[in-house]
Structure 1
Amino acid sequence: MNKIKKCRYLFLLITILIPLLFLNSNLFYHSIKKNISDLNENNNESFKDNVRISQGVSTLFEGTEQNLNITDTGMSNEGFMANLNVTKKMDTVRKKVRVDNIQNLKGGKKRR
């Protein structure tokens, strides 16, 4: 083998195989998972107690008549499309002008 091929194989070994071995090992995964969970428990609890923040988004909208259907994730109970705020003017402007789908995708006539 010449030096270039040896360098390529060494490069492949260093960049691809060694990280794959470490990332797929259970020891690496559990150590990362443990560190993240420890950080989350220690920092989140003290921060939450000091600031008195509630976890759900829906609690921010309690008592407002307009937004009673918001869940803890921030999504609407009725779905996303039903909750869009579109004015009547936009509804009248946004029309399908042409009948054919391909014609609809094309722009208008080019002016000279």
Structure 2
Amino acid sequence: MDTPQIAARLVELCRAGQFEQAQKELFAEDVVSIEAFATPGFEKETKGLAANIEKGRQFEAMSEATHSIKVSEPLISGNIIAFVLEMDMTMKGRGRTAFNELCVYHVKDGKIISEQFFYEG
């Protein structure tokens, strides 16, 4: 897949809330994920596909309900993909929370090799 195809598939899966499927399908084995900052239970940087899938499962376990997921159309520049992700969720022990972040992905050799998230804490 080329970068525009990966972007289209990534957006499709994220809009459907299929984040783990996106990782399994589109991410490289040595993918690196970088959060805006470390939070309790989550490091700032997570290396490797298996570790990133586990991080996603931990985040999912923290949620009670997902009310909506919105993903903007992707922006593509060479091998870089970016989009805005907005989620309205009810989190265990925190209540209903709105997440809004800029997601940036780097593609190499037909796979996502890194993702980075920008948001205010």
Structure of higher RCO (CA pairs closer than 8 Å, 6+ residues apart): 2
Structure ranking higher in strand proportion? 2
Which TM-score applies when normalising by structure 1?
A: 0.19
Structure ranking higher in helix proportion? 1
